Copies of this chain bind each other. A is one copy, B any other.
Amino acid sequence: MKLYDSGRAPNPRRVRVFLAEKGIDLALEQVDIGKLEQKSDAFTAINPYQRVPVLELDDGTLISETVAICRYIEETHPEPPLMGINAIDKAMVEMWQRRMELTLLLPVAFVFRHLHPAMKEMEVPQVAEWGEANRPRAIEQMRFLDAELANRAYIAGERFTIADITAMIALDFCKPSRIEIPDDLPNLSRWYEAVKARPSAQA
């Protein structure tokens, strides 16, 4: 089993942190996004969508899409559970994972892709107005989360889950996206420090 990875990109890191929480050590093969290697013929044969990460199983099966890769790992390595422990909990973790992805990580990524000069060749067309429209949405989501986290330890409840990984990486991605995280959000800040202090955050 090996993971097609790319050092700085947020999505491969979501999988690396997930693997670290599971205590799984995988072979990593680097795909250099800076050199557009993900658009090469060789990599397009691995993932026609030209995106990392991709998990290659020993039988040659290729799994793309961050959360689908995490699903496979969760099914084959259930401990510790990161995607819920019963029907209701699985649904709540998936609900929060999707909320963190669609209303936090995606807006931060749109700011990066549509406003950062380094993305000019990757994101065609760059729509600056769309980038700007997403900045306040990301901030608004942080304020909402701060209120939510007044009452519980982690995003989806009292247990660390994949929703925390998505949210942590969204906040980490604010720096290259030049989004300032408000400093008047004590609950969000307490949570963020706690998840960043976990050994998996180094992955």
Contacts and interface: CB of A to CB of B under 8 A. Distances in A.
Interface stretch (A16-24, A35-43, A71-79, A193-201): A71-79
Contact of A129 (B75, B103, B129): B129
Contact of A87 (B75, B92, B103): B75
Interface residues on chain A, size class: 20 to 34
Interface stretch (A25-33, A94-102, A171-179, A180-188): A94-102
A99 B130 CA distance: 22
Contact of A63 (B48, B95, B129): B95
Contacts of A65: 94-95, 98-99
A91 interface: yes
Nearest to A69: B91
How many copies make up the complex? 2
Nearest to A83: B71
A90 interface: yes
A91 B103 contact: no
B49 A71 contact: no
Given A67-B98, A127-B133, 20 more contacts: A49-B99, A61-B88, A63-B88, A63-B95, A64-B99, A65-B94, A65-B95, A68-B92, A68-B94, A68-B95, A68-B98, A71-B90, A71-B94, A72-B91, A75-B86, A75-B87, A125-B133, A127-B127, A127-B129, A130-B130
22 contacts: A48-B144, A49-B103, A57-B88, A61-B88, A63-B88, A63-B92, A65-B95, A67-B94, A67-B98, A68-B94, A68-B95, A68-B98, A71-B90, A71-B91, A72-B87, A72-B88, A75-B86, A75-B87, A125-B129, A127-B130, A129-B129, A129-B130
Interface of A: 48-49, 57, 61, 63-65, 67-69, 71-72, 75-76, 86-88, 90-92, 94-95, 98-99, 103, 125, 127, 129-130, 133, 144
